[in-house]
Amino acid sequence: MLVPLLLLAWTLRLLPILDNRFHPDEALYGYWGLLIGRGIDPWLTTVPADKPPLLPYLVAGAQALFGNSEFSVRSVGLAAGLVTVPLVAALSRSLYRDRWAAAAAICVALSPFAILFSATAFTDPLMVALGVAACAAAARGRAAWAGLLAGLAVATKQTGLVWVPLVVVIQSPKPKAQSRRVSRELPVLSCLIVVLLVLMLVFAWDAVRVARGAEGFWRAGVSDFGGLRLIWPHELAARLRGWLGLARYLFDSPVVTAVCLIGLELLLWRALARHPRARESFVDLCLVSFLVIYCLLHWLWAFPVWDRYLLPLVPVLAVLLGRILSLFTSLLCSNPSPAPIAPPPNPPIHRLPLARCPSLPRCHLSFIIYHLSFVICHLSLLLLLFLPALNAARSLYPVGGDHGAYDGMDAVVAFLHGLPEGTVVYHHWLGWHYRYHLFDAPVYLAYWPTPAWLARDVQAFGAAEPRYLTVPAFDATARVDRALAGVGYGLDPVLATTRRDGTPSFTVYRVLPLAVP
């Protein structure tokens, strides 16, 4: 079942990759990859790098292998999104040791969130894949691998730290012959040591950058948020509405969402009241606690209400959903997986009266009900999630990367690439896109902070080289027109592009002297 599911996941993720242009952050990561791969700035000292180094270096490798294109930059996220599907199945199987790992894999493969972010070059798909892989390794008792993968998750994005506590608490117990101290404390210690070793390498890389005059990535990341703080009371309701509005697209199925909400309460009740010492109950508590703490942190701390921050919830919810369906099915039959009844050695089986095995029909009935429920639940899950997945593949949800805001950028870039060498291209809104798309273009990029600055620059140097300006449709040119008119210049439109819905997206203007009447 896994191979067809991966093929379906690949198809669903490929469509938005081909439809959507770069989000500004994706263009920035592609630009960093070019700086590294071309040897221009392999330490990223000339750019305000606010992320750890793993993704930019992987992007540089992808660009070297496949050539520089939007697809090659996004190939890292695509691979991470696809690998997450079997990793979630492996995690579910390792934690609960039942057959319901397929349900978890279906949820990740068809989640609109997972589909739309796998089609991007954001850091989050890779960070989530590495975090899930670390949890799967921990569940199988491979502490060193768990530590390495958890460290690499942090080396992808700072928020990868959220996986470390979960990896620690789900370390698998060792054989009973070993002491409790050795079986529980040694794997945790090994895991943490490996995590620290990876983090030491990351901060050593950052120390080299700082020594060369760059700002540390951790400080730059905190500065981007304006500093981390607890939110003010008047922000509680607005932030809660914002997060809930984004969370609906995790699966976008009222039935699946209702099953999750009811099932999580059932898991907590079973874990705390009925089976507090069972291994599965401990795992349930760990995963549910992870969800609750993660959501509270992002609600009560002043993190931006950005959709990408909810992506780590998808694999954890998928594992728990498989667990919930397993429990619901177990309620339908008292003995879901009956052991085969061995016949006595004497008399032979064909002489055994049916009255000697009164439980045989009931066992077979439970066995049939269990497997029938198993098939029905998985088919229902596929049907419930297929339409949301198809909508996500068509970019109908406002999460993930670009959804038409940057349509026409390829035409703008093609036009600017054809300009004569030395042409000045002013930018105010599209700097990250230009840094990536015009990396090899023979033009000079100039950032203008205000219309007055632009007018002064044109007045001083306007007669030297051709000068162009691109204005997105969400902004107007009135202030720029007034400032340029004051120094005897104006804007002449030379190219206009539209979005997929027919509305304007960009207009390219040439800066020319005003005609003398």
Q: With helix as H, strand as E and coil as C, how does 106-155 read? A: HHHHHCHHHHHHHCCCCCHHHHHHHHHHHHHHHHCCCHHHHHHHHHHHHH
Are the C-beta atoms of residues 119 and 163 closer than 8 Å to each other? no
Closest by Cα among 388, 378, 436 to 409: 436
Closest by Cα among 125, 115, 1 to 59: 125
Strand order in the sheet with 444-447: 444-447, 424-427, 467-472, 504-513, 489-498
CA distance 516 to 136: 73
* In the chain, ranges of CATH 3.30.110 domains: 409-513
CA distance 388 to 396: 9
Domain 409-513 - what CATH class?
A: alpha beta
Q: What is the pLDDT along the chain (517 residues), one digit of tens a residue?
A: 788 999 999 999 999 998 899 999 999 999 999 999 999 999 999 998 999 999 999 999 999 999 999 999 999 999 999 999 999 999 999 999 877 889 999 999 999 999 999 999 999 999 999 999 999 999 998 999 999 999 999 999 999 999 999 999 988 554 444 444 445 567 889 999 999 999 999 999 999 999 999 999 999 888 877 677 899 999 999 999 999 999 999 999 999 999 999 999 988 888 888 776 788 888 999 999 999 999 999 999 988 999 999 999 999 999 999 999 988 887 766 544 444 444 445 444 444 443 444 444 555 666 677 678 778 888 999 999 999 999 999 999 999 988 888 999 999 999 999 999 999 999 998 999 999 999 999 999 999 999 999 999 999 998 888 999 999 988 888 899 999 999 999 999 999 999 988 899 999 999 999 875 5
Q: Is the peptide bond before 361 cis (omega within 30 degrees of 0)?
A: no
Q: Which tokens is 465 given?
A: 């080289």
